[in-house]
Amino acid sequence: MILKAENISKQYRLGTVGAGTLGEDLKRIWYKIQGKEDPFLKVGAVNQRNSKADGEDYVWALRDINFEVNEGEVLGIIGKNGAGKSTLLKLLSRVTAPTTGSIKTKGRIASLLEVGTGFHGELTGRENIFMNGAVLGMTKTEIRKKLDEIIAFSGCERYIDTPVKRYSSGMTVRLGFAVAAHLEPDILVVDEVLAVGDAEFQKKAIGKMQNLSEGQGRTVLFVSHNMGSIKSLCDRVIVLDDGGISFDGDTEEAINFYLTKNLRSAGESLKDRIDRSGSGIVKLEKIQFLNAAKRPVDKLISGLKSTIRLYYYAQENLNKVIVGIAFFDRNGNMLSGINNDEQGYFLKVKKGQGYFDLEFDKLPLYGGLYFLNIIIGNQNTLNKLDAIEGAVELEVVPGDYFGAGKDNRRRNTPVLDAKYRSFSNE
């Protein structure tokens, strides 16, 4: 065991941050003299970013977190925005201290939490390597020994003697990751910063983390919204929800738990979903899947006439409404999507209840399980009226899409409707 978190919690004060009142300070001192718990630690709401504060002065970003990490293990940490992932990494990296609980670690910790953390814009890339390396605990001899390797890995050779203020965010994160990775830490803590880098660098960075864990026996704590990276890299995954651990275990099971936790089956009400955004002038209430006879069904069949019906409630009449549906696989990768404005027309809504029908003459999906993100906008999708990620799951049964007397395979991808042609040189 290289890291152990015991009953750690982190509390923040909402609104204007200050020293508090003299009365609060005196009350804290008095309770401390009596050997009692800080009275203000008992106050606080659960960390739900979508709910109103309701007069609470404090909020628990994390509450009663317990877990252990073994040497050489790659631990993934996933959860929706505001679940407490970055706060947890900051506690583990000792950027900030927990309000309650303790964290025990062995060895050296290197962390890459934010783009360009610790970099000085006026210094060159080379100078920042020495400064950042020193902050992370490397000696000048260590840095000199690994300097060429760090520069080569970052891919910033041409600009290494240029001030960092002229770097793009991608170049900055390349350099920052290169320094942290070559520190040879016992524990490497990485937040969702690799999303800034391009595909080639992300692949290189993930390869480096795999080499650290498998080849060198280092421990990696990795936060990402990319389920593909989590699946390929992590031995175990923790799912955070509203500041607490809701799942801790096998990577595949954790991803499935996370993706399906807030989903609704077709026909279930969406009125109580709080993990949504938009003005709410038009609000999605329910989703149904309909077969060719326009009858509600639990599953749709590949290649058959199908309809996705979206029930809504509108507070006013609107023209130029756009509805977008995106199809995702179980790893969180977007497979396809459709918006009506891209097809050259807008929709109208009348005040009150109504529904949109998305009709397919032939459902262009292979057999498999899909997750739908839905957005309703006015004139453009950036002007959101309502948006829900993971609004519903859709199971597609393999079918004879091409009418060839043969059901297609389960692939969890869109169908490519094209034909092969054969040619010869004769």
Residue 306, CA distances (Å) to 4, 359, 395, 414 in order: 51, 6, 13, 15
The reported pLDDT for the residue numbered 42 is 53
Position 235: which residue type? D
Instruction: Tell me if residue 208 falls in helix, strand or coil.
Output: helix
CA neighbours closer than 13 Å in the CB half-sphere of residue 17: 4
Do 18 and 45 sit in the same domain of this protein?
Answer: yes
Do 52 and 186 sit in the same domain of this protein?
Answer: yes
Residue 314 belongs to a domain with what CATH number?
2.70.50.60
Instruction: Tell me if residue 42 falls in helix, strand or coil.
Output: helix
Residue 365 lies in a domain: yes
Query: DSSP H helical segments within 155-213, as ranges?
Result: 169-181, 199-210
Do 244 and 284 sit in the same domain of this protein?
Answer: no
Q: Residue 416's CB: how many other CB atoms inside 10 A? A: 7
Do 208 and 335 sit in the same domain of this protein?
Answer: no
Predicted confidence pLDDT, tens digits, the chain (426 residues):
889 999 999 988 765 444 456 777 777 778 778 877 766 665 555 555 444 444 456 788 899 999 999 988 889 999 887 788 888 988 988 888 899 999 998 888 877 776 556 788 899 999 999 988 888 778 889 899 999 999 998 888 899 999 999 988 788 888 888 887 787 778 888 887 665 566 677 777 777 777 777 777 788 888 887 777 787 788 899 999 888 999 999 988 888 788 767 666 666 788 888 888 999 999 999 999 999 889 998 889 999 999 999 999 999 999 999 999 999 887 778 889 999 988 899 999 999 999 999 999 999 999 888 999 999 998 876 789 999 988 898 989 888 888 888 888 888 888 877 767 667 775
Do 21 and 159 sit in the same domain of this protein?
Answer: yes
Q: Residue 22's CB: how many other CB atoms inside 10 A? A: 8
The reported pLDDT for the residue numbered 197 is 60
Position 117: which residue type? T
Supply φ then ψ for residue 409, to 5 degrees.
Answer: -85, 165
Instruction: Tell me if residue 216 falls in helix, strand or coil.
Output: coil
Cβ-contact 248, 236 below 8 angstroms: yes
The number of angstroms, rounded, from the C-alpha of 344 to the middle of its chain's C-alpha atoms is 32
The reported pLDDT for the residue numbered 208 is 76
Residue 410 lies in a domain: no
Cβ-contact 128, 161 below 8 angstroms: no
Tokens representing 204 are 């290189």
The C-alpha atoms of residue 378 and residue 394 are separated, in whole angstroms, by 26
Q: What is the DSSP string of 384-396?
A: EEEEEEEEEEEEE
E strands, 296-379, are 296-297, 299-301, 306-314, 318-328, 334-339, 347-349, 352-360, 368-378
pTM of the model: 0.64
pLDDT in tens, 188-212: 888 876 655 666 777 777 777 777 7
Tokens representing 353 are 């209840």
Q: Residue 136's CB: how many other CB atoms inside 10 A? A: 19
Tokens representing 349 are 């809504």
Do 339 and 244 sit in the same domain of this protein?
Answer: no
The reported pLDDT for the residue numbered 50 is 46
Do 49 and 157 sit in the same domain of this protein?
Answer: yes
Residue 424 lies in a domain: no
Domain residue limits at 64: 3-259
The C-alpha atoms of residue 21 and residue 23 are separated, in whole angstroms, by 5
Domain ends where: 203, 225, 259? 259
The reported pLDDT for the residue numbered 265 is 62
The reported pLDDT for the residue numbered 17 is 45
The reported pLDDT for the residue numbered 306 is 93
The C-alpha atoms of residue 395 and residue 368 are separated, in whole angstroms, by 6
Do 134 and 232 sit in the same domain of this protein?
Answer: yes
Q: Considering its fold, how many domains does the chain have in total?
A: 2
Do 284 and 332 sit in the same domain of this protein?
Answer: yes
Instruction: Tell me if residue 31 falls in helix, strand or coil.
Output: helix
Paired sense of beta strands 187-190 and 219-223, if any: parallel
Residue 49 belongs to a domain with what CATH number?
3.40.50.300
The reported pLDDT for the residue numbered 66 is 94
